[in-house]
Amino acid sequence: MKKLTALALTVVVAAGLMTGCGSSAQQSTDEQSAAQESAAPEAQEEEATPAEDAAEAETAQETEAADGQTYKIGVIQLVEHAALDAANEGFVAALDDAGISYEIDQQNAQNDQSACQTIAEKLVNDGNDLILAIATPAAQAVAGATSDIPILVTAVTDPADAGLVESNEVPGGNVSGTSDLTPVNEQIELLKKILPDAKTVGILYCSAESNSVLQADMAQEACAAQGLESEVFTVSSSNEIQQVVESMVGKVDALYCPTDNTIAAGMATVAMVANDNGIPTICGEEGMVDAGGLATYGIDYYQLGYMTGEQAVDILVNGADISQMPIGYLSADKCALSTNAETADALGIDVSTLE
């Protein structure tokens, strides 16, 4: 009996040892794999070159952005035209490049101020983490709807002048963003270079857009500095564009259109009337030239939107204080000459020497 008992005990112990060995072996394998995975970055880190360290530093913000949180972002765009569309695309590209997870609600007011108010209230009530407002009227509508949600603006010439921030250097509230202030002086200089015999310049903009009033004032000063007379022509809506441009015929030698959203959206109409009557048009941005204007020296709206997207990432991911975030401006090297060869041919103007 004692022998049988001893034999049974031996079998039990052996089975336990086998089971224990199996568990221990699996644990050892898992620990080895984990150790290898853990050791790999350490080895890589030890072998990293200064160039690799610099590259890692440059992508630090993107690494921080991948925090697993999904952000709600609302976008209100005043109207569809090339410049504002490009700013919107640049903003979204910056979010994608940062690697953050987000849901975006794209809204377009179709140049209707009452629609701006309705959309602004919707975006606020939806509880978005951040709102992007593209163009001054859209920005003013959203800023009036909330003082809590961070608001970034773009394609706004002077946020302080528009009453959106306390100052462009230190906004002081829940609004910041980027300015599309164009090189008005250089654009009028371009007009004088292309049209040396011009004497009177018509300045066309929408009176409802405060950013355009500012640019028109700058254009009048720039014309005076170039020895040119200027006459202001305004519209209150797109429906008046054709009639107002027709009223310029015989009164002006050239036309200047700043980055006005109503005029930009109706640039095809402006160009049709102006070109048919031999009036060259210098524009505020490239999209207006593509739509029939003669030339511009302007900023890249895609890059402007991208800069705004980088601000959004800094606010959402890194907790940047929007009240202390200065309004951003594109550097001079982001401005470029654009001409419309077809328009130039129709007007009999040689722009080849400008390139």
pLDDT tens digit string along 79-130?
A: 999 999 999 999 999 999 999 999 999 999 999 999 999 999 999 999 999 9
Helix and strand numbers, DSSP H then E, in the chain: 14, 11
The 8-class DSSP code of residue 341 comes to H
Instruction: Label residue 323 exposed, middle or buried (CB < 10 Å: 0-12, 13-18, 19+).
Output: middle
pLDDT at 38 over 60: no
Q: What share of the chain is helix, strand, coil (3-state, %, to 5)?
A: 55, 15, 30
What's the mean pLDDT in 26-39? 40
Please check whether the two domains, 70-180+301-324 and 184-298+335-354, share a CATH topology. yes
Distances (CA, A) of 342 to 13, 243, 265, 290: 95, 24, 20, 10
Q: Pick the range with the lowest mean pLDDT from 1-10, 193-202, 253-262, 268-277.
A: 1-10
Give the separation between CA 189 and CA 195, rounded to whole angstroms.
10
21-48 average pLDDT score: 40
Sort strands 70-77 and 101-108 into parallel, antiparallel or unpaired. parallel
pLDDT tens-digit map of 212-263: 999 999 999 999 999 999 999 999 999 999 999 999 999 999 999 999 999 9
**Could you give the 3-state DSSP secondary structure of residue 325?**
coil
3-state secondary structure at position 104: strand
pLDDT value of residue 352: 87
Identify the burial level of 57 via C-beta atoms within 10 angstroms of its C-beta, where 0-12 means exposed, 13-18 middle and 19 or more buried.
exposed
Share the mean pLDDT of the chain: 86
Reported confidence tier of residue 7, pLDDT bands at 50, 70, 90: very low
Query: Which of 61-65, 150-154, 349-353 is predicted with the least confidence, judged by mean pLDDT?
Result: 61-65
> Of 295 and 59, which is predicted with more confidence?
295
Give the Å distances, CA to CA, from 30 to 21, 23, 27, 36, 233.
Answer: 14, 11, 5, 10, 77
At residue 13 the predicted structure's pLDDT band, cuts being 50, 70 and 90, is very low
For residue 55, the model assigns a pLDDT of 45
Q: What is the CATH number of domain 70-180+301-324?
A: 3.40.50.2300
Q: Spell out the domain ranges in the chain.
A: 70-180+301-324, 184-298+335-354
Tell me the percentage of the chain whose pLDDT exceeds 70: 81
User: Looking at the whole model, is its pTM more than 0.85?
Assistant: no
Q: Give the CA distances from residue 34 to residues 21, 28, 253, 265, in Å, rounded to whole numbers and listed in that order.
A: 20, 10, 77, 59
- CATH number corresponding to 184-298+335-354: 3.40.50.2300
- The size of the chain, in residues, is 355
